[in-house]
Structure 1
């Protein structure tokens, strides 16, 4: 019965797309080539793989309903390994292979290295994972071909700061890595604290791969910090948690969405319990759309748990938003400028997994996610759940952009 209900929901989404062409004609036509780029190997594969799986799930559903004007969607997949120079080379390949648009990037530093490739070739790029604020700020919005469906750090950091201040924690230690992601995140946290007339009690910077942060934690403890705000995307989050536990220092750890990653939860184990982080999607069947997505993902990939649910759900929604956009192009002009204009003027409401998207992009705004779409997640019993009962209730209704 549950499986049937999931199929009905998916069918409803596809009907809403207006995809009524026969599957056989779709298979016979030239495919619409969509680039995909992200880390499938290396340390960031934990969220690169679910990002790809979410995109593939959406493509399969759309193709089953007829694709775009009888043409199937085809993903052209590139592994950037989480390394900026590799990402740059793979991005150039995608442009050379003349993709209609590209869905990609998990790492802010990798994305930043490649943005010029997409902008200069007028190839739309939609970023479903990387959250560094500078990604959608590099070019003036009206001319920009860079779109995003993940929550930029400029809204994640204030969202988390608002929460910790409401809890009475005003002495904040900020631990940020020295990557482009950590640098941008640190700046966003400092700005968010300044808006509350606060300054960090202590700032620690560290390189990726660090194994011991006990001295920096002792310094933060001496400074009287009441909470640790960490900004790093890898196992260093777990190093902070384990070293804090070893010191016997019982202060909470908060941060952006990487605190929901296996690197942190599995790496820190009991030291991760109680950690708080910003989320656009928590893998609980809180409404029918999410239940259908989780069921379809589990069946397709034979898993009971998605390693990074936000990466999968945001990539899934991204492919659908791109499809909604190109369905508005009735003359089959899938050139870069045409697709850019279509993304800025999506005519239909998309009832997605992470949000209800009504005009997610405009010529002046390339970020689809607003702060009202965020909820606070908490690590509990080795998994991420809602930090507040009211967020769980709110999550019954998928939020729209404000």
Structure 2
């Protein structure tokens, strides 16, 4: 860094939920982005300028998201990586869109963001195609009567997920035995919700919630003797799910746009560096936080580190080398990537199947 250490840095904003019970995904995204910035600076920075990551915690609230994005824009960031949840992303776009600041979502998969803002991009694909395969997989297992429990606090993700799954599952001939919603903004009592769902005689339970809530739901379900197959949304796939879920989450199946068994040399190098740096296994959030930062850097190389022209530079990127596969942005800032099915076995996420092939 000696050749450019005195030059004005290119500032990249990062905003996610970094505190509270749902912080694990945001922390992983931040860690992945930090690794990417270190690598970028080791190899010359952007336009011979060092990269500085300006980090803000959105606190998992609307007010926190607005304050964080305003702070990052005031700090003069060239672009923003974030948020970690759909609810905060929707809020943040009301600030970043009018300011013509690119927001690049590392973990946002709800299809409601397609065409939402010309200044919004994402490296995580929409879950819509994967949801079709997920519903088909569950139905093919002769599980034709499912119950659904979801967190209504992140409705931009969970409501859309629930609706998309329900539509496909019923189209196949399946029945929604019962539904229940809770709010993660207060400490939820899952027992009465699970008792009501248990009475519906469902064949399986789909949980659409964050890692810690999914783990607690699984624990309560097993303690009450409900031993039906459990399925979970991608939002839950972090080490927190396994740590707090224990034996209750063994056998749980999760759809995910991130293959944990890739032998790609770039992925293996990233995984080792992440474990060396943070002493933990990287989740999909860490991988996509890393990729979001790297693809932004590639586009900023074209603009000389400036915000002006960044949107077009991102759109012109083709077959960018990600950690597990290549990707390009379409006209809406979306990517099309494979969706996988993972299962928890012996306390580890294990690849089970591929639900969609992507491009």
Q: Same fold by TM (over 0.5)?
A: yes
2:276 equivalent to 1:276: no
2:357 equivalent to 1:385: no
Counterpart among 125, 146, 150 of residue 172 in structure 1: 146
Q: Deviations over 1:48-93 (max 9, x none)?
A: 1111111111111111111222112111111112222111111011
Q: Deviations over 1:13-63 (max 9, x none)?
A: xxxxxxxxxx43332322111111112211222111111111111111111
Q: CA deviation at 1:333?
A: 7.0
Q: Deviations over 1:170-216 (max 9, x none)?
A: 21111111112322322222233244244422111112145433333
Where do 1:149-160 residues align within 5 Å? 149-160=123-134
2:93 equivalent to 1:115: yes
Structure with greater proportional strand content: 2
* Cα gap change, 1:354 to 1:87, in 2 (>3 Å): farther
Counterpart among 76, 79, 85 of residue 101 in structure 1: 79
Equivalent position of 2:24 in the other structure: 46
Bigger mean CA deviation after superposition, 280-289 or 113-122:
280-289
Unmatched 5+ residue regions in structure 1? 1-22
Unmatched 5+ residue regions in structure 2? none
Equivalent position of 1:190 in the other structure: 166
SS of alignment partner, residue 90 of structure 1: helix
Q: CA separation in 1, counterparts of 2:209 and 2:78?
A: 32
Equivalent position of 1:71 in the other structure: 49
2:28 equivalent to 1:28: no
Q: CA separation in 1, counterparts of 2:277 and 2:336?
A: 27
Q: CA separation in 1, counterparts of 2:225 and 2:248?
A: 11
2:257 equivalent to 1:287: no
* Cα gap change, 1:333 to 1:219, in 2 (>3 Å): closer
Q: Deviations over 1:94-143 (max 9, x none)?
A: 1122211111111221111111111111100000023333234434xxxx
* Cα gap change, 1:33 to 1:186, in 2 (>3 Å): same
Q: CA separation in 1, counterparts of 2:275 and 2:234?
A: 22
Are the equivalent residues in 1 in contact too, given 2:5–2:49 (CA < 8 A)? yes
Where do 1:247-326 residues align within 5 Å? 247-284=224-261, 286-301=263-278, 303-306=279-282, 309-326=283-300
Are the equivalent residues in 2 in contact too, given 1:91–1:114 (CA < 8 A)? yes
TM-score by length of 2: 0.91
SS of alignment partner, residue 235 of structure 1: helix
Are the equivalent residues in 2 in contact too, given 1:43–1:234 (CA < 8 A)? no
SS of alignment partner, residue 176 of structure 2: coil
TM-score by length of 1: 0.82
Counterpart among 341, 354, 370 of residue 312 in structure 2: 341
Q: CA separation in 1, counterparts of 2:171 and 2:235?
A: 24
SS of alignment partner, residue 200 of structure 1: strand
* Cα gap change, 1:214 to 1:136, in 2 (>3 Å): same
Equivalent position of 1:228 in the other structure: 205
* Cα gap change, 1:86 to 1:211, in 2 (>3 Å): closer
Q: CA separation in 2, counterparts of 1:274 and 1:401?
A: 26
* Cα gap change, 1:258 to 1:217, in 2 (>3 Å): same
Equivalent position of 2:320 in the other structure: 350
Q: CA deviation at 1:297?
A: 1.2
For the aligned residue pairs, the C-alpha RMSD in angstroms reads 2.3
Equivalent position of 2:37 in the other structure: 59
Q: CA deviation at 1:379?
A: 0.9
Equivalent position of 2:335 in the other structure: 368
Are the equivalent residues in 2 in contact too, given 1:211–1:239 (CA < 8 A)? no
